[in-house]
């Protein structure tokens, strides 16, 4: 919110947005609207699932063969994760994607 400790370095670019969409401004806060808090609460497990997916892919995965033009840098190369780690990575990635999709559909409604 404007005047907060992190407003200037991080959130100043969102100021026009908070004036337009009252759900993320002082109006909703003053009316004790719980949607923004609920949204933030759902963002935490979603983000943790994405981080877990990325961790598994990069720590347990093996880089697939080099392509034409040489090998790609490790952070953008295709990786394969097999076994239990692969199943867990798939579950984490799919669950996080479903959460993202459902929130997107909710916002559009």
Same domain for 66 and 104: yes
Burial of residue 46 (CB within 10 Å: 0-12, 13-18, 19+) is: middle
Same domain for 27 and 10: yes
Question: 74 or 92, which is more confident?
Answer: 92
pLDDT of residue 9: 81
Looking at the structure of the chain, the number of domains it has is 2
pLDDT of residue 28: 86
Q: Give the residue numbers spanning the domain of 53.
A: 42-108
Same domain for 12 and 53: no
d(CA 74, CA 52): 18
Same domain for 14 and 46: no
What predicted TM-score, i.e. pTM, was given to this entire model? 0.73
pLDDT of residue 69: 60
């Amino acid at each position: 919110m404007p005047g907060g400790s992190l407003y200037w370095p991080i959130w100043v670019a969102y100021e026009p947005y908070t004036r337009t969409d009252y759900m993320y401004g002082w109006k909703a806060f003053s009316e004790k609207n719980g949607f923004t808090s609920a949204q933030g609460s759902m963002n935490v497990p979603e983000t943790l699932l994405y981080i877990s997916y990325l961790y598994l892919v990069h720590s347990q995965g093996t880089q697939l063969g080099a392509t034409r033009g040489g090998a790609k840098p490790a952070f953008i190369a295709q990786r394969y994760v097999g076994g239990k780690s692969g199943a867990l990575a798939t579950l984490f990635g799919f669950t996080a994607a479903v959460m993202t999709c459902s929130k997107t559909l909710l916002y559009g409604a």
